Homo-oligomer: A and B are copies of this chain.
Amino acid sequence: MQFSKSTDYALHALIHLAQAEDRNNIGVKELSAILSVSESYLSKIMSKLRKDGIVRAVSGVKGGYELAKTAEEITFLEVIQAIEGRQQMFECSNLNSKQHQLLAELSNTEPKPKATDRDECLVKKVMDGAEQHLHQYLREHTIQFVLDQATKRCNYSINKK
């Protein structure tokens, strides 16, 4: 139950892009040097961020990446989901639960959800609750939040002198 290294790299890369908001685009070459990752690996990560609309990319000589929205708008949750995908944290082996999920997926089409969730596994319900709880926290924390904290810390250092 661990977040992947890729998620770690993605978050740190976004922090760097946010801090260099005024500058031109930043290429994978520069980012990979800062993060101490190989260019080829970081490329895959940045591609995922682009596909999910978190960064913009431009090819060519002065190309590279930049944020596609403000740092305020980029939540930890969407970064994590861009990298790790959107599968649920807990997949229940319980048959009732699996049937329930299957029905829910099928009902994405026409005949309405029906909300007969009395048969879903209660263990899964607790775990889904945990996931929602975690997501809420991750939605409330943005890239901007980290930048703000860094500023505070810096001020503190200055005052100290």
* A156 to chain B: closest residue by CB: B118
Distance of A143 Cα from B52 Cα, bound (Å): 38
Which of chain B's residues have a CB closer than 8 A to the CB of A31? none
* A143 to chain B: closest residue by CB: B123
Take A8-B91, A87-B2 as given contacts and tell me if A76 and B130 are in contact as well, using a CB distance cutoff of 8 Å.
yes
A55 interfacial contact with B, CB 8 Å: no
The 7 closest A-B pairs by CB, nearest first: A133-B137, A134-B134, A122-B146, A1-B84, A11-B123, A122-B149, A3-B90
Distance of A134 Cα from B8 Cα, bound (Å): 19
Q: A2-B90, A125-B149, A130-B137 are in contact. List 11 more A-B contacts (CB 8 A).
A: A2-B87, A2-B88, A3-B89, A8-B123, A76-B127, A118-B157, A123-B146, A129-B141, A130-B134, A130-B141, A133-B134
